[in-house]
Amino acid sequence: MNINTAYYKSIAKAGNLFLPVFTSTPLEKEDFFSYLPDTAKDTLVRFAKECKRGEGEVKTLRLFEDGIKSIVLFGMGAKEKWNARKHVFIARRMVQYAKGESIKEFSVPIPLIRFEKKSLSETAKVFAENAILGNFAFTKYKEMPKEGWPEVHAVNLLVEGGKTAEVLLGIREGAIIGEETNECRALANTPGGDMTPVLLAEAARRSVAKLDVRVNVFDEKKMASLGMGAILGVAKGSVEKPRFIILEYLNGPKNQKPLVLAGKGVTFDTGGLNLKPSNYIYEMHMDMSGGAAVIHGIAAIARLKLPLNAIGLIPAAENMPSGSSYHPGDLLKSLSGKTIEVLDTDAEGRVLLSDALTYGLRYKPGLLIDFATLTGAAHVALGSHMSAVFTREHDQKLQDTLIEVGLQSGDYVWPLPLWDEYLTEIKGTFGDLANVGSRDRYGGAIHGAKFLEQFAGDARFAHIDIAPRMTTIEGEYLAKGASGVGVRFIVELAKSYSRIMSHES
Ligand code: BES
Ligand code: ZN
Ligand code: ZN
């Protein structure tokens, strides 16, 4: 999809003019209005008066003129009830409507998509990003219909003369973030049979091939020589060999401690010998969503040339039941030296991530953070609109910043506790740590987080359980399947990194 700018004076040739309107927006007082052809002005004013413009309402005025074929009003309801979270849906709604009407190109005046006092470039960024997210569909495995896929080819943002450069800057940033998020969605949507750990490593290499990112992939022999017994334990039941994927982007000051991002890369989670019931296995090819987010988050950071040092670590394995599977009761020797008592083979994410976190400590991180579809419990706790964020008990500043990063990026996060009280519940009987809570199943998301924290040493640490946001939900104007959660968060986190580094934690 191409997103361009055009001047108001070209409005008479806009083709399809899309206008988001509050119940109270006086269209005739908007800057763009005076540029409309006179006939369109009168018709639009009459039409706008007739429309209720309620939230979610769409009304189409067909003009059948040469220059403007249609004007579409997208109702936003009362201005007082509007907020930033609803605002990101505007672009997606427009694209969804256009797809349904086979409209390939439309124009929007920038002032109408500006939220409160946001800058023009931020306005354009949010619009471009969300238009691109709205235009995505996972079609790789389908035959193309004769008329082609219903997708929008171009959007023109109408601006006043002299403001183009600022808007173009925002478009570029939004486009990169939107594109990488869509790439992440495609990767996570790819069925487990076509996305094994080895193939995930190849996909990682391809994703950053033209970028200033160094890739290193450990095979099972290298992992064994290092002592990554936790990853190897999870991988034992599968014929697919595990991989440990490392991405290094070093574009910050030499002495800046890196942002280390770990992402769960379970390419299919059957549960292992503690096999999942069939309706829970469905969609478990997306259990590498955290890994996919780290790959495309780093790719986005590199494309944007952000000035920081960032490392991506993705432990990739398939969790299968077989004669060679790890068993409940197994005691795995992790890279950290701690032993893990496997009480449930389905709690495999924390097991393989433990080695990634330990490995991450070698980089002396300024912040060590992981993204993982870790627990159904996080989903139960928060519903489907936000991921769970965990920071150490006394690191309130980091928690606040991460919530802010979530709001700013659109990948919303909400805190759950990491209190030491929960640690006693994951102490092992025969090993150092048990991979599930020993008392009952309550607080499962916290047990997962508390387990991971034990492998973060003295590093500043956060864990994001993205299970609640693994797939898109109805009402967010996105195609079914993986949501690409994490990519937008990682970019925003990278932008805030120097601020995070200056907290005295
Ligand atoms: N990958 C799952 C968690 C998950 C479930 C992610 C649904 C996305 C959607 C994870 O490996 C898992 O199976 N967790 C168990 C943990 C339990 C055994 C303590 C769970 O959540 O039930
Ligand atoms: Zn599992
Ligand atoms: Zn899993």
| Residues sharing a CB contact under 8 Å with residue 66, sequence separation 6 or more, in sequence order | none
Q: Dig out the tokens for 82 from the structure.
A: 């509007």
What pLDDT band is residue 504 in, cutting at 50, 70 and 90? low
Nearest Cα to Cα of residue 328 among 318, 338, 317, 340: 340
What pLDDT band is residue 25 in, cutting at 50, 70 and 90? confident
The per-residue pLDDT for range 414-427, each reduced to its tens digit, is 999 999 999 999 99
How far apart are alpha carbons 431 and 348 in whole angstroms? 16
Can you give the three-state secondary structure of 206-238, one letter per residue? HHCCCCCCEEEEECHHHHHHHCCHHHHHHHCCC
User: For the residues 469-490, what does the mean pLDDT come to?
Assistant: 98
- Residue 179 is predicted with a pLDDT of 98
The per-residue pLDDT for range 144-161, each reduced to its tens digit, is 999 999 999 999 999 988
Q: Is the CB of 467 under 6 A from ligand 1?
A: yes
Q: Is the pLDDT of residue 412 over 60?
A: yes
State the residue for tokens 């190109």.
105
| Residues sharing a CB contact under 8 Å with residue 47, sequence separation 6 or more, in sequence order | 59, 61, 71, 73
The per-residue pLDDT for range 102-117, each reduced to its tens digit, is 999 999 999 999 999 9
In sequence order, what DSSP letters do the residues of 24-49 get, joined into one string?
A: T--GGGSGGGGGS-HHHHHHHHHHHH
How far apart are alpha carbons 191 and 268 in whole angstroms? 9
The per-residue pLDDT for range 212-224, each reduced to its tens digit, is 999 999 999 999 9
Residues 190-199 as b/e (b if ≥16 CB within 10 A, e otherwise) read bebeebbbbb
Q: Which amino acid does the sequence have at 86? A: K
Q: What angle do CA 461, 365, 252 make, to 5 degrees?
A: 130
- Residue 140 is predicted with a pLDDT of 96
Q: Cite the DSSP H helix spans in 236-387.
A: 278-281, 289-303, 348-360, 376-382
If you measure from the C-alpha of residue 235 to the centroid of ligand 2, how many angstroms do you get, rounded to a whole number?
12
Residues 435-462 as b/e (b if ≥16 CB within 10 A, e otherwise) read bbbeeeeebbbbbbbbbbbbbbeebbbb
| Residues sharing a CB contact under 8 Å with residue 165, sequence separation 6 or more, in sequence order | none
Percentage of residues in the chain with pLDDT exceeding 90?
Answer: 94
- Residue 121 is predicted with a pLDDT of 97
The per-residue pLDDT for range 116-141, each reduced to its tens digit, is 999 999 999 999 999 999 999 999 99
Radius of gyration of the chain (CA): 24
Strand, helix or coil at 2?
strand
Give the up-direction half-sphere exposure of residue 130: CA atoms within 13 A in the CB hemisphere.
25
- Residue 162 is predicted with a pLDDT of 79
Residue in 371, 374, 440 to alter for ligand 1 test, most ligand atoms within 8 A of Cβ: 374
Q: Is the CB of 470 under 6 A from ligand 1?
A: yes
Give the N- to C-terminal CA distance of the chain in Å, as an integer: 43
If you measure from the C-alpha of residue 137 to the centroid of ligand 1, how many angstroms do you get, rounded to a whole number?
26
Compute CA distances 142 → 57, 89, 109, 138, 375, whole Å. 32, 27, 36, 9, 31
Percentage of residues in the chain with pLDDT exceeding 70?
Answer: 100
The per-residue pLDDT for range 286-320, each reduced to its tens digit, is 999 999 999 999 999 999 999 999 999 999 999 99
Nearest ligand 1 atom to alpha carbon 375: 21
Q: What share of the chain is helix, strand, coil (3-state, %, to 5)?
A: 40, 20, 40
Strand, helix or coil at 426?
helix
Q: Is the CB of 444 under 6 A from ligand 1?
A: yes
Nearest Cα to Cα of residue 243 among 151, 85, 352, 406: 352
Compute CA distances 442 → 163, 379, 417, 436, 483, whole Å. 54, 13, 13, 11, 27
Residues forming a β-bridge with 430: none
Instruction: Take atom 22 of ligand 1 and give the residue whose Cα is closest.
Output: 376
- Residue 63 is predicted with a pLDDT of 87
Q: Is the CB of 373 under 6 A from ligand 1?
A: yes
Q: Which ligand is nearest to the CA of 279?
A: 1
Q: Count CB-CB contacts under 10 A for residue 421.
A: 10
If you measure from the C-alpha of residue 77 to the centroid of ligand 2, how many angstroms do you get, rounded to a whole number?
43
Q: Which ligand is nearest to the CA of 346?
A: 2
How far apart are alpha carbons 327 and 306 in whole angstroms? 44
Instruction: Take atom 17 of ligand 1 and give the residue whose Cα is closest.
Output: 347
Q: Is the CB of 348 under 6 A from ligand 1?
A: yes
Q: Dig out the tokens for 120 from the structure.
A: 């023009």
Q: Is the CB of 15 under 6 A from ligand 1?
A: no
The per-residue pLDDT for range 225-263, each reduced to its tens digit, is 999 999 999 999 999 999 999 999 999 999 999 999 999
How far apart are alpha carbons 280 and 411 in whole angstroms? 24
Residues forming a β-bridge with 105: 154
Residue in 346, 464, 483, 485 to alter for ligand 1 test, most ligand atoms within 8 A of Cβ: 346
Instruction: Kindly list the catalytic residues.
Output: 276, 350
Q: Is the CB of 452 under 6 A from ligand 1?
A: no
Q: Which ligand is nearest to the CA of 264?
A: 3
If you measure from the C-alpha of residue 252 to the centroid of ligand 2, how many angstroms do you get, rounded to a whole number?
36
Q: What angle do CA 135, 72, 7 make, to 5 degrees?
A: 80
Dihedral sign from CA coordinates of 360, 351, 395, 300 = positive
If you measure from the C-alpha of residue 292 to the centroid of ligand 1, how many angstroms do you get, rounded to a whole number?
18
Q: Is the pLDDT of residue 505 over 70?
A: no
If you measure from the C-alpha of residue 230 to the centroid of ligand 1, how many angstroms do you get, rounded to a whole number?
17
Q: Is the CB of 377 under 6 A from ligand 1?
A: yes
The per-residue pLDDT for range 357-371, each reduced to its tens digit, is 999 999 999 999 999
The per-residue pLDDT for range 386-409, each reduced to its tens digit, is 999 999 999 999 999 999 999 999
Q: Where are the beta strands (DSSP E) in 45-189?
A: 58-62, 68-75, 105-109, 154-159
The per-residue pLDDT for range 50-96, each reduced to its tens digit, is 999 999 999 999 987 778 999 999 999 999 999 999 999 999 999 99
Q: Is the CB of 298 under 6 A from ligand 1?
A: no
- Residue 438 is predicted with a pLDDT of 87
Is this structure's pTM higher than 0.95?
yes
Strand, helix or coil at 286?
helix
Q: Which amino acid does the sequence have at 332? A: L
User: For the residues 471-479, what does the mean pLDDT come to?
Assistant: 98
